[in-house]
Amino acid sequence: MNENLEQDLQKQLRKEAIRRNWNLFRQSKLGMIGLYIVIFFLFLALLQPLLFVTGIWNKGVYDPVVGYEAIKDTFLVVECPKEYPTEKYESMKDCPGDGEINVKRLYLAPGVEVGDYYEAFIQPAPPSSRHLLGTDSLGRDVFSQIMEGSQVAFVLGFLSATLGVGISTILGTIAAFFGGRVDAYLMRQSDLILMLPSLPLLFIISAFAELKVWHLAIVLGVLGGLGGSVITIKSQALQVKVKPFVDSARITGGSRWRIMFSHVLPNVAPLALLFMVFSVTGAIASESVLSFLGLLNIDMSWGIMIYLSQTDGFIFSGLEFWWLILPAGLAVTLLAGGFYLVGRGLDDVFNPRLRKR
């Protein structure tokens, strides 16, 4: 009877706490924008497998890695000068074409005459109703690649952040608690890692071993976990350690480990969670840089998409092939930024500067 009352109240209080925190979070405009962005990409990441399972998307066509769609178009062959500028034309673009049919400007090849109609595959193909974001130079659906990329980003971000925050929380708390040599050692270690530039380090690692996504997650997690966040978590833990409730547990006879794990850890956890959200941002950015430099052994990611558009020579062609670069670039920026903003919003919940009463 009493127990029931207690449990009911517990449920009700929990609901209330969630509502209260949610209200606080909602107050932060930036945080909400970030949350919408993250939810949007999460939706994209989950949508793709759904589309394949329901058969709405055919794997042969829409698979982000091995899919292929041949899009043919008819071209009229015109002749254009070899060198520009000429008297008539500034550049090849000005060389005349026909409004109704695509015009292919070709140097005359054997067997092809000026004025011939000519059928050819167009790759990359611009956005169409079948391919919302067009296809890449291998005929693969760019939208599907973006979706695949968000899956990679979430998995990588989550794995590396959890690992990193797990490590730094435990080490930071241990440093605060045991002090002395343990502390000194951990602090020197994180100084060292802070000083090591992480990207070049990753270049070196990738030279020795093929980096897959989860390898990268571990490396990023460990680097993040041993680095500066240990120092921050430690200073937080030091503050918690001298609170009266910790003294009270000590007087009662609680062991060090008990106090560390059940009193100090839960109280640095909010800060750790905050770190976690912020470190997702770093992981997503690192992944795209490494992929862009071709240092990762993964099939598809936003970084790979940008990398491919660069190796295929599209990246410097202005905005003519925008769908090869912009969506992936935007996705990286948005999701990394989105997580950052969510972190800012959570910061308002955990450390309200002026908590309204």
Partner 1 sequence: MKKNVIEVTNLEKYYEVSGGFFSRKKDIVKAVDDISFEIPFGESLGLVGQSGCGKTTTARALCLLDPKTGGDVKFYNNETQDMENIDNLEDEELKKFRRNIQMIFQDPYESLNPRWTIKDIILEPLNIHNIGDLQDREEAVVEILKTVGLTPASNYLPRYPHELSGGQRQRVSIARTLIMKPKFVVCDEPTSMLDVSIRISIMDLMLNLAKDLEVSYLYITHDLAVARYMCNRIAVMFNGKIVEIAETEELLNNPIHPYTKRLISSIPVPDPSYDRKVYDVNYDELDAIIAKHGTDNPMVDMGNEHYIATHDVKGLI
Partner 2 sequence: MSKEVLSVKNLNMHYETLSGDVHAVKDVSFSVKEGESFGLVGESGCGKTSVAMSLLQLQADNAKISSGSIQLDGVELVGMNESELRKVRWDGISIVFQGAMNAWNPVVKVGEQIREAIREHYPEKSKAENTEKIESLFKMVGLDASVIDRFPHELSGGMKQRAIIALALSCDPKVVIADEPTTALDVVIQDQILKEIKKVQELLGLSLIYISHDIAVIAEMTNRMAVMYAGRVVESGPTAEIFANPRHSYTKALLESTPSVVGDRVKLNSLEGEPPSLIDEIPGCSFAPRCPNKTTTCKPELDMKLVEVGPEHYVDICSKESH
23 binds, among partner 1, partner 2, none (CB under 5 to 8 A by kind): partner 2
Query: Is position 357 an interface residue for partner 2 (rule: CB under 8 A)?
Result: yes
3-state secondary structure of 1: coil
Query: Is position 179 an interface residue for partner 1 (rule: CB under 8 A)?
Result: no
Question: Distance between CA 87 and CA 64 in Å, rounded?
Answer: 45
Using alpha carbons, select from 148, 139, 151, 123 the residue that is nearest to residue 60. Answer: 139
Using alpha carbons, select from 333, 221, 209 the residue that is nearest to residue 275. Answer: 221
CB nearer to partner 2: give 19 or 258. 19
* In contact, 169 and 272? CB cutoff 8 Å: yes
Question: Distance between CA 18 and CA 34 in Å, rounded?
Answer: 19
Query: Is position 181 an interface residue for partner 2 (rule: CB under 8 A)?
Result: no
Q: Calculate ∠ Cα 15-280-196, nearest 5°.
A: 140
Q: Build a one-symbol-per-residue string for 198-237: x at contacts with partner 2 by CB under 8 A, - elsewhere.
A: ----------------------------------------
CB nearer to partner 1: give 98 or 247. 247
Number of Cβ atoms within 10 Å of the Cβ of 311: 11
Q: Build a one-symbol-per-residue string for 11-40: x at contacts with partner 2 by CB under 8 A, - elsewhere.
A: ------------x---x-------------
Cross-strand pairs, 141: 135
Cross-strand pairs, 211: 296
Query: Is position 258 an interface residue for partner 1 (rule: CB under 8 A)?
Result: yes
CB nearer to partner 1: give 121 or 245. 245
Q: Residues touching partner 2: how many (CB under 8 A)?
A: 4
Q: Which residues bind partner 2 (CB under 8 A)?
A: 23, 27, 356-357
Q: Which residues bind partner 1 (CB under 8 A)?
A: 2-3, 5-7, 9-10, 13, 17, 243-245, 247-254, 258, 263, 266-267, 269
